[in-house]
Every structure is written in C-alpha cells, then in structure tokens.
Chain A
Amino acid sequence: MLLIKCPWCGPRDEHEFRCGGQSHIARPGPPEAVSDEEWSRYMFERINPRGVHYERWVHAFGCRRWFNIARSTADHTIFAVYRMTDAAPQLDGSGESGQ
C-alpha cells in the first residue's frame, strides 16, 4: 500500500489516486513534418524501466488535480512528488523517500 503526498491535500492512501503513466512525453511537431514512425513512438512507445519512473498521477477521489511522481518500479519507493510544470528531478535511483 502506497502513501502518496498529494501536493495540495497532503498524504493520502493510494486508492484515492490513479496513475496516468509515463510523464514528460513531448509532443513532436509541427504535425505536417512528423512521420508515421515518429507519431507511433510518441503515441505508443514507453521507456518502461525497472527503477526510477517519472509518471503522472491524478488525485481522482480528492482534489482531482494532476501531478508527477518519481517512483521505483522495482520496489514502489516514492522518491519525489512534484507539480506538472516542474522539471523532472535528477535521481540516481537512491533518492530519499517522499518530498
């Protein structure tokens, strides 16, 4: 069971949240210059690492706002919680838990 620190509501149980998958995916452009292969990479390819994963979450049963989490997919440790507009924190995989 994860305890997730929503940036607006504080620590809450994981069942209040939904994960929206990999974050920081940049939309390619301009659209007319983008090949089918590039669109396919943007739409479908995911990094899917075993280790730190930067991902979007939404506080679905709370404030309903989106934010980012840096979380280990190997043991689910949450290293950082940060806002959608923030840059991804640089972590080497042994960052501190929580924010």
Chain B
Amino acid sequence: MASRYSAWRLLKEGLRGQRGWQPAWRDPEPRGRYDVVLVGGGGHGLATAYYLAKTHGVQSIAVLEKGWLGGGNTGRNTTVIRSNYYYPESAALYDLSVRLYEGLSRELNYNVMFSQRGMVMVGHSRHDLEAMARWAGAMQINGVDCEILTREEVGRLVPALDLSPTARYPVHGGMIQRRGGTARHDAVAWGYARAADALGVDIIQNCEVTGFVRSPRGTIIGVETTRGGILADKVGLAAAGHTSLLGEMAGFSLPLTSYALQAFVSEPVKPVIDTVVLSLATGTYISQSDKGGLVIGGGLDLYPSYAQRGNLPVARSVLGAIVDQYPSLGRVRFLRQWAGIVDVSPDSSPILGDTPVPGLYMNCGWGTGGFKAIPAGGTLFAHHLATGRPHPLAEAFGLDRFARGALIDEAAASGIAH
C-alpha cells in the first residue's frame, strides 16, 4: 500500500532526491471471481469502488477499464463543479456532490485542487434575467446558495467581459453560486484510484468487456473480457457514452444517445478570469486553469457520435461567442481541442440503479455533467450495489421514470448548456 502523502513527506523526499515514492496503485492480474465488478475506470467507477469498500465493507471489487484510468470523460471535461439545478431531486443530488468535493482532498489524502472560485451565470437580455430570477428562486428554495447580480456586479467579478451597450451579447445582469468552482479532473480519478487500491480494490486497465456471462435463468453472473472471463455476484456499468453498447451486449436498449462534447484550452496566459463564467444565451463557458490556460466549453455536437473528436461548426460557434464576449481574448492561441462521448438522456438527468437484466446495474445518463457528480454518483451507486435498494436520493432517477412519465427535465428547466 502506498504511504500517506503530507507536507512532511514532500520535504523528506525532497531531501532524499525523490527516491522513496511508490506507485499510487497496483497493476494486478484479474482474478477469476469478485463480489462486484465495475465496468469503466473513470471517476464514477472508481468512486463507486471506493465507497463500496469504505462505506459498505465489500471485500472483493474489480474496476475494469478498456483504456487507461480516467482516459474517458473524466480526463476530457472542463472541470466545473456546481449544483445550480432547478428541481429538488437534482439539487439534492448535485449539492451532495459539491459537499463531498469540499472534503474530498482530506478524505482521499490526495489534493484534488477543488477551488471554490464561484460560478457566474451571465444574462444577455431581459428574458434571460426573468429566467434567471426563476432559477435562482428555485435554487434558494432547494437550499443551494445563489445570489442575483446586477450588471455592475458582473462587471466587477469578470472585468474581461464586454459590458458596452453595443456588445454582440450585451450584459444585463447575472447570478452566482459562490460554492461552485473547478477541480483538477485527473486528480479526482487518481485520488479515488489510490484510495480504492489501498482498500484492496483491483484496478485493471487495458481490459475491455466483450460480453456477459449468464446463469441458466438469464441472470448476469460475470463478464467476458479481453483478459479472460471474470465472474461476479453483481456487475455495475459506469461507462458514460458507451453504456448503450454494453446494454446491447446484455440484450436491452436504453433511453440514451451518445454525442461528442467538445472542449478547448488556450496557451497559458496571465490571470484574466478568476471564476467560472457561463453565458446563458450562447451556452458557452470559460474558466482559467492554475497553469494559465483558458478552458472553454459549449454545447453538444449536433449529431450522434462515438468519434472522440469535435466537429468544426460547433467549435466555430463556441469560440466565436467567447471572442464576442471577451474581445481581449481574440488573439489568444489555442493549444488543444478535444471531445468526450457523453450519454444524453431525454430529460438530461442521470439513470441510476437496476437495468432490465438481473445482476446488472447502471450509473449512466450523466450527459454533459458527469464530472461534477462523481462523489455523489459513486456514493449512490455503491449504496445500490451493496444493499440492492436505491439510495433515497437516487429513487427518483430510476429507469422506470420514463414509463411513469416522472421525468426530471433539467434541460428545459435550468437552461444548462445541453
């Protein structure tokens, strides 16, 4: 087991020439049988494994990752953490996640660099302000911190914004969730991986699931992988945009469509934006990483895709809208552009819990917002896998909500950029 990280340890290793560090997790061969097998070694899969071992005392757990750890959407998002949702069910879920993030570095003994620099939402018209007042009211009733901002207050928080009345996207006002912010996305995956490994979880990379093993009665009792068959009492899916493909292998389809979601990062520049800014009318958002890169995101690509690259028309509209809002960034050069495959559900809310097949469980449908939900997703999914019952906060998010018509329609409600 890797020893604890601390300031004292850092100093000691510095004096010893950094020779005492050990790998943060093991690289074990898969065993033939586990109590729980989780498919997907991103944030949600690793967090689920961690809470299964830590909270529920499950002894034998494997996380199977077809590529490298955190190489999917956990390593491809724009690192924003917020809980500015409209409906009480979503607010409870995402605010649990923000609260868990607040203590996560200490919990995992791994610095996830959660920086509560605030999440500013900017309104560009009277109608935006009306929608925002409704949204802010809902957040406050749900017990989530939120303040309405005047145009001048937005200007003081984000001096780089073009506040002139002739701006392409004039600023009429805004609102802020001060507890929102950003975290180091890779560190979230690595921190959970290291902490789970220390509790005995086997993290197996380069191990793609190619099929399921069934009992004569049709219950799923294991997985076929590129590294051999592995039996399990329970199999949990945490595969984001690729969940539909695993569902197809197991014989069912899901209310999910996979899209590419793009992100962009610029060359490092001096500090210019010290918060996260979302523009309601354009659906674009921007923050600045600790290294100085401007991290930019926007809406989905407009057709279903499993190609992990973005298309140019969306890139053009996102970056064009950013330059219209921040004219001083017009000459900034870009370092990288990439895309992750996100699983979008009809109501833009996650699907948690039972699948139509016994023995197989899922944590999917997080769409464009999975990163911010990692600690909550892991907590809720671990609860379901360990107890066989949904966590109270997950009850409203079951697959059965579509047949019951009990959708939690966050896309329409909170104007988030889907």
User: Which A residues have a C-beta under 8 Å from some C-beta of B?
Assistant: 1-2, 14-15, 18-19, 21-22, 36-37, 39-41, 43-50, 53, 55, 71, 73-76
- B402 located at the interface, meaning its Cβ lies under 8 Å from any Cβ of chain A in the complex: yes
**Contact in complex: A73, B305 (CB < 8 Å):** yes
**Contact in complex: B311, A37 (CB < 8 Å):** no
**Contact in complex: B245, A50 (CB < 8 Å):** yes
- B74 located at the interface, meaning its Cβ lies under 8 Å from any Cβ of chain A in the complex: no
In the assembled complex, which residues on chain A have CB atoms less than 8 Å from the CB atom of B346? 43-44
User: Which B residues have a C-beta under 8 Å from some C-beta of A?
Assistant: 242, 244-245, 248, 253-258, 302-307, 311-313, 346, 402-405
Question: With the chains together, A45 CA to B243 CA distance in Å?
Answer: 13
A1-B312 CB under 8 A given contacts A19-B303, A44-B346, A55-B303: yes
Q: Pick from B253, B306, B403: contact of A47, CB below 8 A.
A: B253
Q: Pick from B256, B307, B403: contact of A37, CB below 8 A.
A: B403
**Contact in complex: B302, A19 (CB < 8 Å):** yes
The 4 A-B residue pairs with the shortest CB-CB distance in the complex, in nearest-first order: A44-B255, A19-B303, A48-B244, A40-B403
A49-B248 CB under 8 A given contacts A1-B312, A44-B255, A76-B305: yes
Question: With the chains together, A18 CA to B313 CA distance in Å?
Answer: 12
In the assembled complex, which residues on chain B have CB atoms less than 8 Å from the CB atom of A47? 244, 248, 253
Q: Pick from A18, A71, A73, A75: contact of B302, CB below 8 A.
A: A18
Question: With the chains together, A74 CA to B245 CA distance in Å?
Answer: 12
**Contact in complex: A45, B311 (CB < 8 Å):** no
22 cross-chain CB contacts under 8 A: A14-B311, A14-B313, A15-B313, A21-B257, A40-B255, A40-B402, A44-B346, A44-B402, A45-B253, A46-B254, A46-B256, A46-B257, A48-B253, A48-B254, A48-B304, A50-B258, A50-B306, A55-B303, A55-B304, A71-B303, A73-B306, A76-B311
